[in-house]
Chains A and B, each alone.
Chain A
Amino acid sequence: MLNFLLTLLAEPQTPEQKQLYADFEREAVPHMDALYNYALKMIGDSDDASDLIQETYLKAFRFFDKFEKGTNCKAWLFRIMKNTYINTYRKSTKEPDKVDYDDVENFYENIKASNTDSAHLEKDIYDNLLDDELSGAITSLPEDFRTVVILADIEGFTYEEIADFIDVPVGTVRSRLHRARKMLFTKLYEYAGDKGYLVKED
């Protein structure tokens, strides 16, 4: 009788497992917003972003006993998400058309040459652009450039963290970010021109 009752009352989860969950809840769950935001900006579809987060967290919890306590949990989660994204979503996500960077550079130089002052670099000119237009411009960047912009300018990662995340030297992060912002500028300049926010000089 006692054995039967003890079986009924027994914990199906060991104290170690419960502790593991408590640690996971404290260390990993607070980063869910950051991961979702990144996933959404990378993929551009809320359902796919939600699925990616779910897969990432299930994997992270499964391997949480391997996570080295005291190290950067957010970076660890981002690495898991990156691998999941590469294995599953990148294959099915339509990659923006390849960008010929020389064309971008030429266009950038033309903008510079055709403006004798820096009025077109005033932030006020671009204030009427919508979040969607800016987000669309980011989404249209090639993946390598999109990644660094999102991580640096939206998620607030340091160059070193980004370098660790995408497995490239810090100098490459800097160079990609520099180019990515130039690409974005040419797109925003075009948007602003199309909407008549720019007063073109003759």
Chain B
Amino acid sequence: MDIRKDLTAALVDNELHDEVLKNQLVSQIETDSDLRYDYMVQNLVKTLIKDKVSYQAIPEKVKSKVLRKIQPKEVRVKSSSTFFAGFFSRPALSFATAILVILAALLILINRPEVSEPKDFALEQLGDDNMFVQAKNNFRSILEGKLAPQLVSSDPSEVKNFFVSSGVKYSTLVPYMTKWDLLGAVVSEDRGEKFAHHVYSNPEGEIVYLFQVEESYLQTHEIIKLTDDLLSYLDEGNCYTTLTDDYSTLMAKSGNNIYAVVSNASLEDISQSFCALN
């Protein structure tokens, strides 16, 4: 009986489900050197691939990036709002009781002890392409007079227009601050990409430098980066503050942008003004 040679592949793969055919093939392999050669080659290559080709699991940062894009915000933040929604739908609870519960919850939130940072992310931020490091270096250059604004303006919309006309591709945030006066702005360039920086000051001569980047730049790690755990921390809506080299540094997220603020003002002052920009 003439047996197709490609059945040797099926035998190696345990895909020959017809027992009669399988037995015929096995006995023919014993007597037919051509068929035996084919079978040995199929077996050899399959074994080599199994033993030698490593299985590449998806890198954790790629997996996190994909999941971040599809996770509903509630899953990320683990909000307790389901509890509240159910609570309010119960007819036994009166309007006044509901208000009291909300007020109590707000009081607890306002008066809760300050939670310490889960870890010191600043220690992990290394390298010239790190946003945190760049922000601190740029601020030092401003204080030393090495970095001057390319645009001097106190008008937020003029600064935003300057960013657009200078080639910044992402939407920027230039808020009007009651305690801080806008001084001007700088656009930097790295590997063809433009980045937005602007500066505030106050009557005491303290300076605030704000550097903002669309988060997608940080996720790709190509030009500028942050460690994944700090990025996740900011993604969850947290504001990270730290005092390093006598400068107050703050990082937070607003819209699609991650921003770094460095200042010679107190950490408390900049936290109050810059933790929740919109």
Q: Say whether A associates with B.
A: yes
Task: Give the interface of A toward B (CB within 8 A).
Answer: 1-2, 5-6, 9-13, 17-18, 21, 24, 29, 32-33, 35-37, 40-41, 46, 50, 53-54, 57-58, 61, 112, 118, 121, 123, 126, 129-131, 134-135, 138, 149, 152-154, 158-159, 174-175, 177-179, 181-182, 184-185, 188
Counting from the closest, the 10 A-B pairs by CB-CB distance are A178-B6, A36-B58, A178-B9, A181-B45, A153-B49, A33-B57, A13-B72, A50-B62, A61-B70, A175-B6
Q: Which of B50, B62, B63, B73 contacts A153 (CB 8 A)?
A: B50
A181 and B62 within 8 A (CB) = no
Q: Can you spell out 21 A-B residue pairs with CB atoms less than 8 angstroms apart?
A: A9-B81, A11-B85, A13-B72, A13-B73, A24-B70, A33-B58, A50-B58, A57-B70, A121-B40, A121-B44, A131-B53, A131-B54, A149-B49, A152-B13, A158-B15, A159-B13, A159-B15, A178-B5, A178-B38, A181-B45, A185-B44
How many contacts A-B (CB < 8 Å)? 136
Interface size class, chain B = 35 or more
Q: How far is the CA of A2 from the CA of B100 in the complex (A)?
A: 11
B263 shortest CB reach to chain A, Å:
31
Q: Once the chains are docked, how many angstroms separate the CA of A9 from the CA of B106?
A: 12
Q: Which residues B2-57 have CB closer than 8 A to chain A? A: 5-10, 13, 15, 34, 37-38, 40-42, 44-50, 52-57
Pick the contact of B48: A32, A58, A129, A177 (CB < 8 A). A129
Query: Do A177 and B13 contact each other (CB < 8 Å), given the known contacts A18-B74, A37-B56, A57-B66?
Result: yes
Contact A29 B67 (CB under 8 A): yes
